[in-house]
Amino acid sequence: MLFFTQCFGAVLDLIHLRFQHYKAKRVFSAAGQLVCVVNPTHSLKYAPTRCAAVQTSTEQGILPPCHHHEAVHDPQLVPCTCPLFSCPWEGHLEVVVSHLRQTHRINILQGAEIVFLATDMHLPAPTDWIIMHSCLGHQFLLVLRKQEKYEGHPQFFATMMLIGTPTQADNFTYRLELNRNQRRLKWEATPRSVLECVDSVISDGDCLVLNTSLAQLFSDNGSLAIGIAITTSKVHNSEAEM
């Protein structure tokens, strides 16, 4: 009976995963789009955040590791860009992707357009959903966070970060799209560099922001499907002129 129960549970998990993929494909019917089911992770770094540590160290006259963010054009060491953990790792920008994949087990998808399917949206804040997106010869980090910006009022923040310098980030445009029940919501912006702190991007509100009621409007049984498309700024500007 124990063996049967365990096997039956595994089968149900596989069926649930396939069903999640089917729902995303149904919402985003464009052929060839890749669907990635992303499970939530409770952040372990909210005590205090890396940005808060930078501010405290600066006030005390101590030079923190995040000071390297200011020298974005020099091949200096940068701290871990994963917003989930207070990771002490530092390395060159070229090996950030390898660190995120090997140490933090963050999945990566390839393609100009993908579907990011975040599950279990009902979990309490703070919670993160993270994936890497590879396209146009670069890697991007998509961060969806559920966080209480005001006590008792959780919100969802979604942003795209380029694993590169701010100058390189200016060459791209990303679009996040929610589409359900004949409603469509789009956010289009220039990605920020991972050399900038994700917490600062969220605090500034320079990202897609959803309150709980709006997130529920676009969610399906606790899952939120976000269509992601990345283009180069040159192509985007040409279309605007036409």
What value does the mean pLDDT take over residues 46-66?
40
What value does the mean pLDDT take over residues 59-79?
46
Among 4-8, 123-127, 219-223, the minimum mean pLDDT is found in 4-8
Q: Which residue has the higher pLDDT, 239 or 129?
A: 129
Closest CA to 141 of 180, 178, 93, 209: 93
pLDDT at 235: 47
Phi, psi of 101 (to 5 degrees): -75, -45
Evaluate whether 226 touches 214 at the Cβ level (below 8 Å).
Answer: no
Q: Is 220 helix (H, G, I), strand (E, B) or coil?
A: strand
Closest CA to 229 of 239, 220, 221: 239
Closest CA to 80 of 62, 63, 97: 97
Write a three-state SS string for 107-169. Answer: CEEECCEEEEEECCCCCCCCEEEEEEEEECCEEEEEEEEEEEEECCEEEEEEEEEECCCHHHH
Q: Which residue has the higher pLDDT, 42 or 88?
A: 88
Assign 43 a pLDDT band (cuts: 50, 70, 90).
Answer: low
Among 40-54, 94-108, 171-185, 207-221, the minimum mean pLDDT is found in 40-54
Assign 53 a pLDDT band (cuts: 50, 70, 90).
Answer: very low
Residues 6+ apart with CB under 8 A from 187: 158, 175, 176, 177, 207, 208
Inform me whether the pLDDT recorded for 50 exceeds 90. no
Fold exhibited by the domain 29-41+74-232: 2.60.210
Write the pLDDT tens digit of every residue in 189-215: 999 998 888 888 888 889 999 999 999
User: How far apart (Å, rounded) are the C-alpha atoms in residues 107 and 199?
Assistant: 21
Residues 6+ apart with CB under 8 A from 128: 40, 41, 42, 43, 83, 84, 143, 144, 145, 146
Write the pLDDT tens digit of every residue in 147-192: 997 788 899 999 999 999 999 999 999 999 999 988 999 999 999 9
pLDDT at 9: 53
Domains of the chain by residue range: 29-41+74-232
Inform me whether the pLDDT recorded for 44 exceeds 60. no
